[in-house]
Structure 1
Amino acid sequence: MIRRSCVLIAALAAIAAAVLQSTGVLPLTPAEFANPGASTVRAASYAFAIWGPIYAWLLVYAVYQVVPGWASDAVQRRFGWPSAVAMLAIGVWIVAAGANWRWTTVGLITLAAVSLIRPLAAPVDGIGRREGLLVVTPLALLAGWLTIATALNAITVLTAEGVVRTGAALWWAIGGLTAVVAVTLAVFIRSRVVAYPLPVVWGLIAVFVAERSDSPAVAWYALLAAVLTTAVVVARRRRSW
């Protein structure tokens, strides 16, 4: 019961942090935090609307798993603590971004992504439709979005800190997007959970939209990456719940 309660608390904390950020209490919004390092690669602002359905689904998951007898022990052992760590990390990330703690945001978002990718990077077998929809799907959506967000966050901080020079920006952007696709496909091919790569494709298309005027090479590479990822998902999908 302790694990289940921690998952619920972590979900509420993540949502509370998002609400706090929306009130303007924090010194910087996420957009203001990213602006100094957005010259290398960025996603269109509409892409971040994905947080709305992700938060809503995470809350459903947190309530579902805390009710005794609903979520199986096997599912809880696999996803309980990783999801608690990830949700708590994204909540603290909002505070860190608002305070402009650049390197702290990189550590937090990486922690959140790795925490969820690890239990997903293995075959997801023996899980019924209900737990697939209410446990695996929301966590896979969050993991997918964190996969691309981690790369964008890291490149943004590296650019803002002067590590990424103007002459090398194109290669940093392409390298980051390549790493995103490589991780996404590796995890998806193992788990076959369609919900995981969908936010990545969403983010890659948002990069295309944002960069098509200022950096066409990055934009078209992102679109190509989105098409490739989609093709692999269609060819190898197994579970959509």
Structure 2
Amino acid sequence: MPASRTIVAALCLLLSLAFAASPFFVEGFAGFDPNQFPVPQNNPPVQPAGYAFAIWGVIYGWLILGLTWGLFKAPKDGQWHDMRKPLCASLAVGAAWLAVAVASPMWASVLIWIMLLSALAALFVAPVSDQPWAAWPVGLYAGWLSAASCVSLGLLAAGYGWLDETTAALAFVGLAIVIGGFVQGALGRAPTYGIAVIWALVAVVVANYETTPIVAYVAGGGALALIFPTLKAFRAV
């Protein structure tokens, strides 16, 4: 059993490296092509401003650092092991996600929800100790995925003509707020989760305050509401 835990720890680190390297193997991906949808999605209001995606650099780096620390400092720890198992699943799917996204927004949406659910499973069982190396990077990752998975549904809803762009944005930005508030409140720790969701919502405000103000108002209100459970999680540190 201890040996198998070390193998899982090493595998989790390797998957984080593969995940971080995946953009180098899918050149030029900067979001879905508008023409990948039956109704082209040019500047859809559900999508955050482009600068927000820079958070991926922090996510990749922090996950790699945290999992490296865990491999050498806690390779056989039971709580780390419980976190690593679902996190391995999320990172494995994440390593393939960009290649799928180039081919099919529909399948990319399915995969990003699998990434989210497995990341949340990892977050809720993350070690109570060693939070800067375990719960915090996983929280940032899961928080951004919570927003991104809702954006993917909003793009599908508008892109396939199920909803108009504004309605889709309101529905799925609202869903991101509900998920973010519920998870951060139930978790009661790892404030990086709430920070990532707030980051995404503020970027939705930036993208929409001139063109689709109602979406900006909803996103801004959600960001403000999420400050409270996030601050409460900070006090639990």
TM-score interval, smaller chain:
0.7 to 0.9
2:222 pairs with 218, 221, 225, which one? 225
Q: 1:72: how far off?
A: 5.3
2:8 aligned with 1:9: no
Q: Give the match for residue 207 of structure 2.
A: 210
Q: Where does 1:35-46 land on structure 2 (aligned, <5 Å)?
A: 36-37=40-41, 38-46=43-51
1:110 Cα deviation (Å)? 0.3
| Equivalent residue, structure 2, for 1:142 | 141
Counterpart mapping for 1:13-52 below 5 A: 13-21=18-26, 23-24=27-28, 29-33=29-33, 36-37=40-41, 38-52=43-57
Q: State which of 71, 95, 102 in structure 1 corresponds to 2:99.
A: 95
Is the CA contact 1:121–1:187 (under 8 Å) kept in the aligned structure 2? Answer: no
Counterparts of 2:101 and 2:83, CA distance in 1? 26
Q: Which residue of 1 aligns with 2:107?
A: 104
Counterpart residue identity of residue 144, structure 1: G
Match of 2:3 in 1: none
* Aligned counterpart, 2:120: 117
Q: C-alpha distance in 1, partners of 2:57/2:118?
A: 21
Task: Please say if residues 184 and 191 of structure 2, whose CA atoms lie closer than 8 Å, have aligned partners that are also in contact.
Answer: yes
Determine whether 1:191 maps to 2:192: no
1:177 aligns with 2:173: yes
Structure 1 residues 41 and 147, CA gap change in structure 2 (3 angstroms): same
TM-score scaled by structure 2? 0.86
Are the aligned partners of 1:30 and 1:97 in contact in 2 as well (CA < 8 Å)?
no
Q: Is the 8 A contact 1:208 1:223 kept in 2?
A: yes
Structure 1 residue runs of 5 or longer lacking an equivalent are: none
Do the aligned partners of residues 12 and 198 (structure 1) sit closer, same or farther apart at CA in structure 2, a change above 3 Å counting? same
* C-alpha displacement of 1:236: 5.4
More displaced stretch, 56-65 vs 230-239: 230-239
Post-superposition shift, 1:70?
A: 2.5
Rounded Cα–Cα distance in structure 1 between residues aligned with 2:14 and 2:8: 10
Kindly provide the amino acid, as one letter, of the partner of residue 59 in structure 1: I
* CA drift at 1:202: 0.3
TM-score (norm 1): 0.85
Task: Please state how far the C-alpha of 1:3 moved relative to its aligned partner.
Answer: 1.2
Kindly report the root-mean-square deviation, in angstroms, between the aligned alpha carbons of the 2 structures: 2.1
Does residue 1:155 correspond to 2:140, yes or no?
A: no
CA distance in 1, matches of 2:97, 2:180: 22
Q: Is the alpha carbon distance of 1:236 and 1:73 closer, same or farther for their aligned partners in structure 2, counting shifts above 3 Å?
A: closer
Q: Is the 8 A contact 2:45 2:215 kept in 1?
A: no
Q: In 2 relative to 1, CA 209–81 (structure 1 residues): closer, same or farther, beyond 3 Å?
A: same
SS of residue matched to 2:131: helix
Structure 2: runs of 5+ lacking an equivalent: 1-5
Task: Number of aligned residue pairs: give it.
Answer: 226
Report how far residue 114 of structure 1 moved. Answer: 0.5
